[in-house]
Amino acid sequence: MLARIFEMAGMSTILVTNMPFWAGKIGVPRTLAVEFPFGHILGQPHDRQQQMRVLRRALEVLEEATVPGTIVHFQERWPIPLEEALKDCHPEMPPPIAAHMGRHIGSFIRGLRRASKQAQKD
């Protein structure tokens, strides 16, 4: 994850994601959790104002977060029901990589933790 490299170089990072559970599991330093559909993490297409609200909040969290692993939930909700929005952005069948990743996510997370511990020792 590039964020780790940037953080080790002294640059602060923030992840804007709709999967805060996984951000917490892999140890992301700062997270802004949004309840938006995949592919629309910053907001609806062509809605510049909504996208700017997300970006501004992310910058606020970046500035305010004082402890590693901070997860802040964005208070704005997607303007249409998520179930309806998901139909528009998810294929009927997940791609093969999704099944592959599902089988290997545990070893991936363990590898990230080992690398993080090693980097802290160095």
What's the rounded Cα separation, in Å, for the pair 111 and 116? Answer: 9
Question: What's the pTM?
Answer: 0.68
- Give the chain's end-to-end CA distance (angstroms, integer): 18
pLDDT band per the 50, 70, 90 thresholds, residue 58? very high
Q: Tell whether the torsion through CA atoms of 87, 93, 98 and 102 is positive or negative.
A: positive
Which residues, in sequence order, are CB contacts of 99 under 8 Å at separation 6+? none
Q: Is residue 86 part of a domain?
A: yes
12 in a structural domain: yes
Over residues 78-85, mean pLDDT: 78
Number of domains in the chain: 1
Give the per-residue pLDDT at 88: 64
The mean pLDDT of 67-96, rounded to a whole number, is 81
Question: Would 104 be classed as within a structural domain?
Answer: no
Domain membership flag for residue 119: no
- H-run or E-run covering 99: helix 96-121
How does the average pLDDT of the chain come out, rounded? 86
